[in-house]
Structure 1
Amino acid sequence: MASALKEQHAVFLGNLDDSVPKEDVAAMIKRLILQASGLTVELAAIRVKHSRPSRCLTAFVNFSSQVDQRRTLQTLSNIPVIPQGLVKPGRKLKVDIYKPKFSQPQQVNFTNGDSFFKGQQLGNETRILEFKRGGGDLRKQLKKHLAKYTCAFLNSQGGTLMIGVDDTGFVQGVHCDRAQEDQTRINIDDIIHQFDPPVLPQMYQVQFTPVRDESGIEADLNLKVIEIQVNHSRPDTLYETPSGEVYIRRDGSIRGPLRPKDIQEWCRLKFSNNSDSEDTALKNQVDNLQERLQKLESNRQELDSSNNNDVKRTNSTVCTIL
């Protein structure tokens, strides 16, 4: 049963009362779902187990479709009254999409080139997954987000930037017709090709996935999710954006642009796992980055000084001879 749940659409319930028999908890969950969403689930589809770290019971409710899963998640998240004895005293009912845990981060492939449903819940942002709502001018969206997230993924474990999914993980889609799709591919390539060192074509993929309504019909033929999947680069390489900034990825967020001391710390951690030749390559990168940062700072100071002198000359006294 546990393996089947991982392959189906399931909802997770946490903070359940561990002083109540598991059979009674499952029966209460069944009645609660019927009351909240009008859906009837079999007891065989409800798995209750004890969570030792949380010191409570947890449950996984399996559904036959994505629509029923999302409907139950929304209704249980907003239900005003919880049956007495279901939730452990002093806690609140926790409801979420069931997400299997992996020992190592894995690249995400939600659709296999097929489609999304409008309002489909894709889970939470992770070290290898970033959501952006998009909307408006696609070119501005790419200019704002693409360089730094691609850089962070390249310098970390790889990952996927999904434009058209809101911060809570629900698919919304962005308007993108065929001509805009072609132009967007060109814009993405243009930005990524300006990275230093160069990013090879096989190191990233771009996909435009259609968004359909709950019936499986494309409500808007031009509504899509843009997925930019970035592969993990060599461990001895540190990538810069076209503007010379460096980013790395952490759980659900990015860090940067990095300061010279941050880059040194990043390399120090890398040095402990690399060979002498890799250490030398990384050190050379750090030296080059620091030199470029120093030149930028020097140019900025010269520009500020020049602007100040111009202001002083403008304020000089003018004498007029009559």
Structure 2
Amino acid sequence: MSTVAAPCAVFMGNLNNVRRKCEVCSMIVYVFNDVLGINITKDNVNISSSYHCNCFTATIFVPNEIYQKLAVQTLNQSMLPSGLIKEGRKLRIDYFRAGHEKQNVGTVLTSAAEINNQNFNDEIKMINYKKKRRRKKKRTDGQGNTSLVQSPVINSASQGINKHQSTSNEEELSEGIKTDASNNANLLELHNNADSIADQLDNVDYLKKNQQLGNETRKLEFKRGGGSYLKNILKTDVGTYMSAFLNSSGGTLLIGVDDEGFVQGISLDHKAEDKVRRDIDGVMRRIEPAVLPNIYSVSFIPVQDKIQCNLKVIKITVGAVKTKMLYESPGGGVFIRRDGSIQGPLKTKDLQELCHMKLEEEFERKEADLKKQIKILECQLEDASLGHNSTSSVHSANGNRKSTVCVVI
């Protein structure tokens, strides 16, 4: 029976398993279609879980080897949207091969159903492996207890007690995990990745009083917000921190979280929320140059507490802006964000140095974009030349018809 080559595909690893698989799939489709210029659909992407690495992996099927080579050699982490790669990891990308042995035409794994079946079998194998590990651990614990106890009767009784306690502890732990997951699964992930807390907060329904959110970072600032903060300090802090984030690479201000990262909340009803939102919008309108409404967002995250009601955390986020200009706060100063602290108002010498750095970053970004476009055009030119050669051979066999492919760069 005739054989066929393995399908052309790309492997991606260390993908963010905090997000849902459909979200990760949509991000990958966006990267291949809009960034690399390779037309694929969600049916061409297979997302699976890696238990050993605690992340998602993806297999992306592409039309031919040229696009496969383009994706592997061109794609890097800076070209990916925020949140696609797991926090603290680096992008893994390589050529995907469906086995070194030759396969029959009817046995090549190209359909989504067969891939899903294979993933299901892998999950079953992993579950059986964990069960064997637990049984082996129990046998080891039983042998250790035998060496410590002389009487076989007492030994068997102690083993029964230990097994009962172990089973009850496992059941209690399992029930506790299920309860937390049913309340809000995303709350369990907030302790692990401090730098991505702001992104994760978009997906949670509420926070808990005294919940720990990690530490302040270059893109994250905490303010307790107690007492007369909303009346006397809010506008000044919003102007200072938002202008500093705009002059850096974006960031989030959380009001209602103390300096140690513990959620405290601020008592706000609907009327107070409207006033806070109007105050923040008024400050953002006074920042120079103008800040468009789609660059920043304001939200109120509920805080659960058994004593107080209407507790909220105010979340103000501003995105990174690619511009040569510097943003000035309503108070007239220029600030920047560095290593979890505010620097400013800047003096003339500091402003000149910062402008020079922004120009260098702009040139580097444009140079990287041009190199990426050149690689894409080279691959498209190679693809077009291959198509031209095959068309010319067909026309020469049928007659003297000629065809010409002209690519303008």
- Shorter-chain TM-score range: 0.5 to 0.7
Structure 1 or 2, whichever has the larger Rg, is 2
For 1:9-158, list aligned pairs within 5 A: 64=177, 99-100=192-193, 108-112=199-203, 114-137=205-228, 138-158=230-250
For residues 19-52 of structure 1, the C-alpha deviation after alignment (integer angstroms, 9 at most, x for no partner) is: xxxx9xxx9xxxxxxxxxxxx977xx9xxxxxxx
For residues 240-275 of structure 1, the C-alpha deviation after alignment (integer angstroms, 9 at most, x for no partner) is: 011211111112111111111111111121222335
Identical aligned pairs, as a percentage?
Answer: 46
Structure with more of its chain in helix, by fraction: 2
For 1:231-242, list aligned pairs within 5 A: 231-242=319-330
For residues 170-208 of structure 1, the C-alpha deviation after alignment (integer angstroms, 9 at most, x for no partner) is: 100011111111011110011110011011111110001
User: Which residue in the other structure is 1:182 paired with?
Assistant: 274
- The Cα shift of 1:157 comes to 0.9
Cα pair distance change 1:100/1:113, threshold 3 Å? closer
User: Which residue in the other structure is 1:258 paired with?
Assistant: 346
Alignment partners' CA distance in 2, 1:5 and 1:65: 21
Structure 1 alignment gaps of length 5 or more: 7-22, 28-39, 46-62, 68-96, 279-322
TM normalised by structure 1 equals 0.53
Which residue identity is paired with 2:192? K
Cα pair distance change 1:165/1:66, threshold 3 Å? farther
Cα pair distance change 1:65/1:224, threshold 3 Å? farther
Alignment partners' CA distance in 2, 1:236 and 1:115: 38
- The Cα shift of 1:66 comes to 10
Detail structure 1 runs of 4+ shifted over 4 Å in the superposition. Answer: 1-6
Q: Secondary structure at the match of 2:233?
A: helix
- The Cα shift of 1:238 comes to 0.9
Q: Secondary structure at the match of 1:110?
A: helix
For residues 100-142 of structure 1, the C-alpha deviation after alignment (integer angstroms, 9 at most, x for no partner) is: 488xx79533252511111111111111110000012212231
User: Which residue in the other structure is 2:265 paired with?
Assistant: 173
- The Cα shift of 1:3 comes to 4.8
Alignment partners' CA distance in 1, 2:197 and 2:211: 21
Q: Secondary structure at the match of 2:283?
A: helix
User: Which residue in the other structure is 2:75 paired with?
Assistant: none
Aligned residues: 193
Q: CA RMSD in A?
A: 3.3
TM normalised by structure 2 equals 0.42
User: Which residue in the other structure is 1:55 paired with?
Assistant: none
For 1:187-266, list aligned pairs within 5 A: 187-213=279-305, 219-266=307-354
Which residue identity is paired with 1:191? V
Cα pair distance change 1:100/1:220, threshold 3 Å? closer
Q: Taking CA–CA contacts closer than 8 Å with sequence separation of 6 or more, which of the two structures ends up with the larger relative contact order?
A: 1
Which residue identity is paired with 2:339? D
